[in-house]
Amino acid sequence: MNARMQLRMIAAVGTCVALAAPVAASPPPDDVDVSERLGSRLDPKLAFVDQQGRDVRLGDLVGAGRPVLLTLNYFRCKTLCDVQLERIAESLRVLSDVGAGTFRVLTVSIDPKDSPADAVKKRDVYLRRLGRPDLDWSFLVGAESQISALAGSLGFAYRYDARSDQFAHAPVLFVLSPDGRVSRYLYGLDYPPRDLRLALVDASAGKVGKTLDRVLLRCFRFESASGRYGAHVLNLVRLGGVLTVLGLALGFVRLRRVEQRRQSGG
């Protein structure tokens, strides 16, 4: 089963749960999907309000020289959104060795009725769970026109159900490059720390992370079919060959030194 099919199934299950009401819920919409816009640049002029009630432009937070992990959720949601944000927080907790100032996390509400007060409450919850008060994680609210423009540029489709006052949408983590372009789509509700680390290194062209991270990026290639980073066998073989040669060279140097000491002592 490929990532797109898994995405549809998760969206359908999330919709069924979110739209549960005293009246029979309608079948989940078949147009809740994602059409990838890889390489597209987000509009920096889109206007939102952050958790502190300040007016901000998207360009203030995206395309400012750091890679960004972006999610589209809504803050009244107690099902799919909470699970997604919790999983992201769990992975970010593991990535404590990645400097908080090297990347940014951004969550934008798709519900125009969400307020800055809702945003700050949600942000406080996840920063407490994360245990990283230094992490740059902003929660934004905005008008319907700005939200739909952002969602459209990401290829993110969602549906509002008036009867239950809930939204149907898919769980997706968008990875943006430092210049504000869409770099990766990570689907589902499982975000292994390795995938987040490699996605950040990949999006930043190797400028984020340690030397070992850049080596790992050569060994793990992003697989669009699964939406995950998988081992690139050829590069693993090459790395194994390089390590073997280095090991032999070090062994030879060590033996040479031992022999020189033996001769000197004799």
Lookup: tokens for 89:
């927080």
Query: What percent of the chain has a predicted confidence (pLDDT) above 70?
Result: 67
Q: Is 74 helix (H, G, I), strand (E, B) or coil?
A: coil
Is 247 contained in some domain?
no
Contact 55, 47 (CB under 8 A): yes
Give me the number of domains the chain comprises.
1
Is 214 contained in some domain?
no
Residues of the chain with pLDDT under 50: 5, 8-28, 206-220, 222, 232-240, 242-243
Is 231 contained in some domain?
no
Is 93 contained in some domain?
yes
Question: What is the CATH number for 119?
Answer: 3.40.30.10
Is 234 contained in some domain?
no
Is 205 contained in some domain?
no
* Host domain of residue 127: 3-190
Q: Is 84 helix (H, G, I), strand (E, B) or coil?
A: helix
Looking at residue 24, the DSSP 8-state letter turns out to be: P
**Tens digit of each residue's pLDDT (9 = 90 or more) over 244-255:** 655 665 666 677
pTM for the model: 0.70
Spatial distance between the Cα atoms of 12 and 76, rounded to a whole number of angstroms: 19
What was the pLDDT predicted at 208? 41
Looking at residue 34, the DSSP 8-state letter turns out to be: B
Spatial distance between the Cα atoms of 154 and 38, rounded to a whole number of angstroms: 8
Beta-carbon count within 10 A of 28 CB: 19
Positive/negative CA dihedral, 17, 23, 27, 28? negative
Tokens 């939204």 -> residue: 167
Is 183 contained in some domain?
yes
**Tens digit of each residue's pLDDT (9 = 90 or more) over 203-231:** 877 444 343 333 444 444 545 555 555 55
Is 7 contained in some domain?
yes
Please state the separation of Cα 88 from the chain's center in Å: 8
